[in-house]
Amino acid sequence: MRTTDRSQQLFERAQKLIPGGVDSPVRAYKSVGGTPPFITHARGSRIFDVDGNQYIDYVCSWGPLIHGHAHPQITEAIINSAAKGTSYGASTELEVTLAEMISSAMPSMEMVRFVSSGTEAAMSAIRLARAFTARDKIIKFAGCYHGHSDGLLAKAGSGIATLGIPDSPGIPRGYTENTLTLPYNDLNALEQAFRQYPDGIAAVIIEPVAANMGVVHPAPGFLQGLRKTTADCGALLIFDEVITGFRLAYGGAQSIFKIQPDITCLGKIIGGGLPVGAYGGRREIMRMMAPQGPVYQAGTLSGNPLAMTAGIITLRLLSEPGIYDRLEESSAILESEIKSSASKHGICLQTARIASLLTVFFTDSPVTDYDSARKSDTGRFARFFNLLLDGGIYWPPSQFEAAFISLAHSREDISLTASVIDKALASL
């Protein structure tokens, strides 16, 4: 029986000092209820909490730990690097090596700039796009998350482009009025937006496979339509591959769909889970960044030697033959087992998966955009989540997040997970 006494005590202490008791909102479990476990350590596919519970982890630090926790080669490299110094505020050969590896994997990224987070990467990419095009407006899609910079925390009416309204207090309307929010998978809405603002749209930013409203596939032709429309209208296409980059394939989603964006944003997977991000694109665009050009962006910890070291080893391991086949096999087995259990127990749900990203939507209709994702039964998901947690499975604590399968998940892990899910669905 899972105990939570120590975690509860820590959560109560934390709430006196940290807003909501957490440093990132989803960790508070407000959408699923219960006490969030406080983690002491992790190894391979498992995490361990202060109460002595262990869980098979499908959060994997929200994606970057594709090799699992505390991979020996990655941790050894980090330790050796730390012994030489944790930060220099100066350039290193490590930055050059990792940039070369990323550019080789994603040829659209002819030049790369390292930052400290995915939020910073997206924010900087948009500033660069506006400077390059001399336009102000940005198109994003409802349900796609690009970090918490002010200009991207906007929502708008569905179906047609409307001026953005701040989606969080503390953001002046002027910060978001140039952000247009459209329905995901809706090319008609995109074309209408460009007709409405033919010379005003600097860029379209998108998760090529949505993963922040749960996993939602791009409809056939949707990404190709984005590429054509932006090119025809003189706007830039920004792929936010913070989640999909190096997870769906070594070359990211852009290699799967065979589309070259103008700018790509990457996240913590390129730092082995350490704080890092990057943005990059065509040479003529990236040359506008200071000190080569007039667009300013800087960061003391950009290119941090620990993150660069971990990233080099992470990508080196990912480049080995058969790696993504292994991930696909494990992920396909888990999805198949979930579908089988749901059918057996008469539970209405939809599974959405691409490579090692997986979401279970508690709805009886296909999920194609944010509106259809929101029709999911979040109450039923909360019960499902807590049954899994009691069974030793650490699933993402939100209906609208993706689960991540790692290379550390063994066949035994997948089998045990399927068994716990079967019992949970039977209880539902």
Instruction: List residues with catalytic annotation.
Output: 145, 240, 268
134: left (phi over 0), alpha (psi -120 to 50) or beta: left
The residue behind tokens 């050969």 is 93
Q: Which amino acid is at 188?
A: N
21: left (phi over 0), alpha (psi -120 to 50) or beta: left
Specify the pairing of strand 137-141 against strand 46-49.
unpaired
Contacts of 75 by beta carbon, 8 Å cutoff, 6+ apart: none
* Start-to-end CA span in the chain (Å): 20
Cα dihedral sign for 352, 357, 362, 368?
A: negative
d(CA 205, CA 218): 14
| Cβ contact 136:203 at 8 Å | no
Specify the pairing of strand 350-354 against strand 277-281.
unpaired
Question: Residue 255: what are its φ and ψ, rounded to 5°?
Answer: -75, -30
Classify 65 as helix, strand or coil. coil
| Cβ contact 138:123 at 8 Å | no
